[in-house]
Structure 1
């Protein structure tokens, strides 16, 4: 990993949610709301930019990832057993697809929609057994393909603004890979490797300049890297286990950050809360799965 960059601010707590394992930050620019999940708490959350207006849903299984769709009244949610459509108003879950050979001891993990409207997501063993994870892509109803592996805990992914590069981490290995997309075969290379004292790369997002923002699990921060892997900046987060980040707000310059380690009780400490910081960088609207309506 490149030399440490100077800190460029400290994130502030906007929701002391007490999540056991907050993840999956996703901004919906149509409604001006942030979606996120508590994996171990089996809950889905939504909030406005200030964190004052909130709503939560209990889920029957651990959620691992989220995606917006072209249909404003439903999202895609990855639960332990597969992908489902979810209607927030009726709370109806409709099964969509599951990876081939997916077992009861595996679950879905982080995911993201690319600029072409395809949903990429990871799978992993619930006890993080080495090399039992993989990266998958959903191209349409039941059009599900295993793209890359093995991984232990795949996290990300994130995409360059033009969709030509994808980033995905194998967190326990402390490695972020970059993939050149297009032209058939994907070409993978090591993009960044975290040092032991920097924690583990977790969730990530890109900004309009093509830079990658990465949450540090065990590192209490978010780092910004340019497309060549040079670290440009670091944001400090008052929680050790930082799990995901996404741009949002009215001007798409607010970085929202989820964390883990809470007790599951709202207001009980700052671990497991949602944080926000103005960055000066501009994000891009989240991709929407566009082949499922």
Structure 2
């Protein structure tokens, strides 16, 4: 039986976006609907919670310290100077969702409508100077984004499609030649991470599992979980071998006692160091 443990006992409404902060040796994750950014140091057990003024889709470390956050009304920066907007764009009925930092240090941040209407979301690329470019503009629920170890492939999930898509990355570091890597028959693909072998681990919302796909799209591992709504996964720990999994309680009539907590699968595999946002 897979040795799933509870890393952080919590009752997050919509836990999301686990990220291993290599510089600080801690896990960063968010409760989107709770408007909270959490950190957890597995070595000491220390936890912190920061309340944001808006729903927060993701929080990632910055190269110079602090955090970049994907908020309802745009992308903001926390640092020694306090908070400032990197890019603010208010769209009624829309909120931030998952985000990822590319190998070049840019932030790729997704949005979605609260009603999950098709075409209401986007995936945008944010440069350190605040320059923004919309990469995908016909998205329902923008979710997991990640890159192959050599940076030549990008993986992406628009959850209602049930697909994990793969793109080639061109000389301008933009995705081209979209195609399907794999399709989930049970549950909806949500957040993802790419391991050192180039395999893609995907959390399945309403699927109660994390699945690992090879670069050719073959399903080669299924990690069954005790909760119905895992949301995302990331490798962490000193040697990047522990798989952390965020979970949600929202929408469940009778949540499992572990729903809303952060789970961990010790020794699941070998992850890649995640780059910090260069801004």
Which TM-score band (shorter chain)? over 0.9
Measured in 2, the distance between the counterparts of 1:243 and 1:173 equals 16
- TM-score normalized with structure 2 length: 0.93
Name which of 178, 181, 195 aligns with 1:188.
Answer: 178
Counterpart position of 1:226: 214
Deviation at 1:57, TM superposition (A): 1.1
The answer (yes or no) to whether the contact 1:97–1:141 under 8 Å persists in 2 is no
Give the unaligned 5+ runs of structure 1. 1-7
The answer (yes or no) to whether the contact 1:132–1:150 under 8 Å persists in 2 is yes
Counterpart of 1:288 in 2: which secondary structure? coil
Counterpart of 2:55 in 1: which secondary structure? coil
Deviation at 1:279, TM superposition (A): 3.6
Deviation string, structure 1 residues 36-60 (Cα, Å, up to 9, x no partner): 0001111110011268311111110
Measured in 2, the distance between the counterparts of 1:155 and 1:46 equals 21
Counterpart of 2:118 in 1: which secondary structure? coil
Output the aligned Cα RMSD.
1.9
Following TM superposition, the consecutive aligned residue runs of length 4 or more in structure 1 with deviations greater than 2 angstroms are none
- TM-score normalized with structure 1 length: 0.88
Aligned positions of 1:133-148 closer than 5 A:
133-148=121-136
The answer (yes or no) to whether the contact 2:93–2:113 under 8 Å persists in 1 is yes
Deviation string, structure 1 residues 269-291 (Cα, Å, up to 9, x no partner): 2110000012442111111112x
Counterpart of 2:2 in 1: which secondary structure? strand
Deviation at 1:163, TM superposition (A): 1.0
Counterpart position of 1:4: none
Deviation string, structure 1 residues 64-119 (Cα, Å, up to 9, x no partner): 012221112x11001100000013x78x32110135xx512111111111111111
The answer (yes or no) to whether the contact 1:262–1:271 under 8 Å persists in 2 is no
Name which of 21, 26, 49 aligns with 2:42.
Answer: 49
Counterpart of 1:37 in 2: which secondary structure? strand
Counterpart of 2:226 in 1: which secondary structure? coil
Measured in 1, the distance between the counterparts of 2:13 and 2:199 equals 29
Aligned positions of 1:52-201 closer than 5 A:
52-72=45-65, 74-87=66-79, 92-98=82-88, 102-183=90-171, 186-195=176-185, 198-201=186-189
The answer (yes or no) to whether the contact 1:244–1:259 under 8 Å persists in 2 is yes
Counterpart of 1:172 in 2: which secondary structure? helix
Counterpart of 1:64 in 2: which secondary structure? strand
Counterpart position of 2:233: 245
- Ranked by relative contact order (alpha carbons within 8 Å, sequence separation 6 or more), the top structure is 1
Counterpart of 2:160 in 1: which secondary structure? helix
The answer (yes or no) to whether the contact 1:10–1:236 under 8 Å persists in 2 is no
Give the unaligned 5+ runs of structure 2. none
Measured in 1, the distance between the counterparts of 2:261 and 2:250 equals 8
Measured in 2, the distance between the counterparts of 1:144 and 1:254 equals 33
Measured in 1, the distance between the counterparts of 2:107 and 2:213 equals 24
Measured in 2, the distance between the counterparts of 1:67 and 1:219 equals 26
Larger deviation, residues 116-125 vs 273-282: 273-282
Corresponding position: 1:273 with 2:261: yes
Change (3 A) 1:149 1:189: farther
- Matched pairs, number: 273
Deviation string, structure 1 residues 244-288 (Cα, Å, up to 9, x no partner): 11001011100000000169xxxx921100000124421111111
Counterpart of 1:107 in 2: which secondary structure? strand
